[in-house]
Amino acid sequence: MDRVQPEKRSSMMSRIRGKNTRTELTVRRLVWRLGYRYRLHQQNLPGKPDLVFQGRKKVIFVHGCFWHRHDCPAGRQLPKSRQEFWYPKLARNAERDQEVQNALRAMDWKVLVVWSCQLKQPDRLEVVIREFLGPVHM
């Protein structure tokens, strides 16, 4: 088995972004095309949601399946090396996500999580987003 050297792994990991990911940009384009307008990463809300619909009191988080532990093949996958490091780290991500969602719901916000694997079925994702956000206000 080829092990990646720590310096190379560190370099690879430093390129992983927390916002403006390809998945997030794809969801943002879809939502905009559907006629909804939003704010990005509002600092005054728990977890700085990816898309914020202030007037509707709704937020959308766009999560990578691996990083946020979705129940799909990518989300169930664990790295082969250093599992003693990765498992707690990834578990804490999922735990933090739940804490943030609970805090938002306690503030009477509605929360939708869009998983990266959902982009494989854009028509279905469009329906989910329309149902969540409701009618477009002109």
Task: Return per-residue pLDDT of the chain as tens, 138 residues.
Answer: 456 666 665 555 555 566 778 999 999 999 999 999 999 999 999 999 999 999 999 999 999 988 888 888 877 887 788 888 888 988 999 999 999 999 999 999 999 999 999 999 999 999 999 999 999 976
Predicted confidence at residue 55, as pLDDT, reads: 94
CATH class assigned to 18-133: alpha beta
Predicted confidence at residue 5, as pLDDT, reads: 66
Listed by start position, the domains of the chain span: 18-133
Q: What is the pTM of this model?
A: 0.85
All residues at 6 or more sequence positions from 53 whose CB lies less than 8 Å from its CB, including other chains: 36, 37, 38, 39, 59, 60, 133
Q: What is the CA radius of gyration of the chain?
A: 17
